[in-house]
Structure 1
Amino acid sequence: MGGNRHPKNQSRAYMYAVLAVVFWSTAASAFKLTLAHTAPLQILFVATLTSCVALAGVLAIQGRFRLLKQTSGRELLYSAAMGLLNPFMYYLVLFEAYSLLPAQVAQPLNFTWPLMLVILSVPLLRQPISPWSIGTMLISFAGVYLISSQGRPFDMRFADPLGVSLALGSSVIWALFWIYNVRDGRNEVVKLFLSFSFALLFASVAMVMTSGFGALNFYGSAGGVYIGLFEMGFTFVFWLKAMQYAESTDRISNMIYITPFLALVLIGIVLGEQIHLTTVGGLVLIVAGIVLQKFITPAGAGAGIEADGR
C-alpha cells in the first residue's frame, strides 16, 4: 500500500481518525438535506465526480500517478467490477433508503455491515461460524428490529419495510465490496480512484438514459460536492492515514464506534428529528453485538473496520 514508509505517530493517527469520524458523522444529515433538493442518481453523479477529482489530487500530491500506468487490463476489469459495487450500487441503494426513512433509522441500519461481513464470510471466505457468534448477531439484529419500529416496538412490524430492506441491502453491498477489495493488493488510493472513475462512467450513462444532466440544481450539486469530499474521497484517505500512522490499530479502529452516536446527535440538531428511545437502544444493541463479534471472529473476517473504517 505504500503506507509502511510512514513513521509511527499515535498522536497524528488520532488526529486523522478524529477528522474521519467527524466527517463521517455528518454524512447522514448531508444525505437528507441533499435529497430534499435532488434525486439519488444526481447526487451520486456529482459526488462521484467530486471524489474522482479529490482522489486524483491526492495521487498527484503523493506522486503515485505512475502506479496507474502499471495497472493491467485484468486489474482494470476488477476495478470496474468494484466500482459497480461501490460507489455505484452501494450509494444508489443507500440514498434510496435515506429517501424513504428518517436519517435516525437509515444511518444505524447501514452500520450493520460488519454483521453482513461475518455472514458472507461463511460461503465466500469459508470462515466457520460458532454458536457464540450467532448469539452476538442476534443481539445486533434485535437492535435492527428496535430501530426499524421507529418508536413503536410493540406493533411487531417495520414502519417502512422497503426502506429498511434498502438500508440493510446497502450494508450487504458494502460487505461484499470489502471482501473482494481486501484480496486486491494494489495501493488503496489507486484502487479507490479507479473504482470511482468507473462508477462515474456508470453514473454518466445512467444519467443520459434517465433524467439527463438538466435535472441538476445548485443546492443538490452543492450537497453532492460535500458528500464527494467528506463522505467518500478525503475521508477515506484520512482513515487510511490514521491506520498507517497508528502504533496501535485497535485503539484507532475502535474510534469508529463513536460515529453512529455522534451522527444521531447531529441528526437531532441539524435535521430536527426527534430521536426515539428505540433508536438509541437499538443502536446500542447493534454496536454491542459488533464489538462482541470482533473478539471472537477470525482475523481474516473481522478486520473490516480496521481496514476501511466503516
Structure 2
Amino acid sequence: MNAQSDNTKAIFYGLGAVLLWSTVATAFSLSLKHFSPTQLLLVANLVSLVFLICLIVLKGETKQLIQLAKQSWKSSLFFGAINPFLYYLILLQAYDTLPAQEAQVINYTWAITLSFMAVPILKQRLKTADYIAAAACYFGVLYIATRGQIGALEFSNASGVAFALLSTIIWAMYWLLNTKDTRPSLIGLTLNFLFALPIILVYAAATGELTHWDNAGLWGAVYIGFFEMGLSFVLWNKALKLTSNASQVANLIFLSPLLSIIWLSQFAGEPILSSTLIGLACILIGLFVQNWSKRKIK
C-alpha cells in the first residue's frame, strides 16, 4: 500500500513538473518581447540561484555546498558554462527568431540527439528502433521548418531552426557528460548556476546588454527562473525518487508540448499551425518508439 501511495505521489509531482514546463514556451515568448535573450538569461539565472540556495539552506546542506564549491570549482565552472549559460543562450535565440511553438517542439528531439551522441561519448550502440525514432523525429523537424512545404525545401527561418537543433546538441552533451559528475544533483545544479553567473555577467557587459532594460519583461524572467529552472527540477527529482516505475513518470513528458501549444495560442496569441501539429505528431511517435524499445529490453 505504501509503494502504491508513493507511486501516486510520484505521478502528482511529475505532473506538477510537466505542467510548469508546458508554460515555459509562453513565458519565453512574452518575455522576449521586452528582454534580449542575454538579459532574460541573466535575471532567470539569478532568481533560480537564489531559490536553489534557499532550498539548500532549508535542507541543512550549506556546509556541503561551500565545501564542494571549493573542491569542484573547475567542474562547476565547466558545467555552468554549458548549462545554464550556453544552452539557454542558444535556446532563447531560437525562441527569439522562431514562433515559440516551433522552437519548443524542435527542442524535444534532444532525446534522439542524446542517443546518437552516446555512441562516441559513452560507447553505446544504436538499435534499429533508434534509427526509426530518429527518422520520425527529424522528418517532423523538417516538416515544421518548411511549414509543410517539404518538396520545395524552403525553410521559414533557417537560422532559428539551426539554433533550436544546436540547443538539442548542447543539452544532450550536458546530460552525457553529467553521467560522470559525482556531485549531489541539487548541489551540483546550484553550483552550476553560481559559477555561470559571472560568465553571463561578463558576456552581457561585453555585448552591451546591461543597459536599456524594459521592466515589462522582469516578471516573466522571474517566473522562468523560479519555475522552469528551479521548482520544476525539484518536483521532477522528487517524482523519480518516489516512483517504482521510472518509465511511467518519464512518459508524462509527452504531455508538455501538447499543453504548451495550447497555452501559446491562449496567452501569447500564437495561432496553432497545422505544420506544427503534424511535425509534433511525428516527433512524439519517434520518442514513443525509442522509449518503447528501451522498456521492451528491460
Assess same fold via TM > 0.5: yes
Q: CA RMSD in A?
A: 2.1
Per the TM alignment, residue 14 of structure 1 is displaced from its structure 2 partner at its CA by 1.7
Q: 1:282 aligns with which of 279, 282, 286?
A: 279
114-123 or 153-162, which deviates more: 153-162
Deviations 1:102-134 (A, max 9, x none): 011101001110011011001101111134421
Q: 1:200 aligns with which of 193, 197, 201?
A: 197
Q: Secondary structure at the match of 2:72?
A: helix
Q: Which residue does the alignment assign to 1:306?
A: none
Per the TM alignment, residue 62 of structure 1 is displaced from its structure 2 partner at its CA by 1.3
The amino acid that maps onto 1:270 is F
Residues 112, 130 of structure 2: 8 Å contact kept = no
- C-alpha separation between the residues in 2 aligned to 1:172 and 1:203? 20
Residues 153, 278 of structure 1: 8 Å contact kept = no
Moved over 4 A (4+): none
TM-score by length of 1: 0.90
Q: 1:253 aligns with which of 250, 255, 258?
A: 250
Q: Which residue does the alignment assign to 2:155?
A: 158
Deviations 1:152-199 (A, max 9, x none): 444322211110000010011000010111221321110110001111
The amino acid that maps onto 1:26 is T
- C-alpha separation between the residues in 2 aligned to 1:52 and 1:74? 19
- C-alpha separation between the residues in 1 aligned to 2:5 and 2:185? 19
Unaligned runs of 5+ in 1: 1-5, 303-310
Residues 94, 160 of structure 2: 8 Å contact kept = yes
81-90 or 283-292, which deviates more: 283-292
Per the TM alignment, residue 260 of structure 1 is displaced from its structure 2 partner at its CA by 0.6
Per the TM alignment, residue 150 of structure 1 is displaced from its structure 2 partner at its CA by 2.4
Q: Which residue does the alignment assign to 1:221?
A: 218
Deviations 1:261-306 (A, max 9, x none): 110111111122121222111111111111211233599xx9xxxx
Unaligned runs of 5+ in 2: none
Per the TM alignment, residue 70 of structure 1 is displaced from its structure 2 partner at its CA by 3.3
The amino acid that maps onto 1:263 is S
- C-alpha separation between the residues in 1 aligned to 2:60 and 2:282? 44
129-138 or 184-193, which deviates more: 129-138
11-20 or 225-234, which deviates more: 11-20
Q: Which residue does the alignment assign to 1:182?
A: 179
Q: Does 1:235 align with 2:232?
A: yes
TM-score by length of 2: 0.93
- Percent identity, aligned pairs only? 35
Q: Secondary structure at the match of 1:185?
A: coil
Q: 2:122 aligns with which of 121, 125, 139?
A: 125
The amino acid that maps onto 2:170 is I
Residues 146, 281 of structure 1: 8 Å contact kept = yes
Residues 22, 259 of structure 2: 8 Å contact kept = yes
144-153 or 57-66, which deviates more: 144-153
Q: Secondary structure at the match of 1:155?
A: coil
Q: Which residue does the alignment assign to 2:73?
A: 76
Q: 1:295 aligns with which of 279, 292, 296?
A: 292
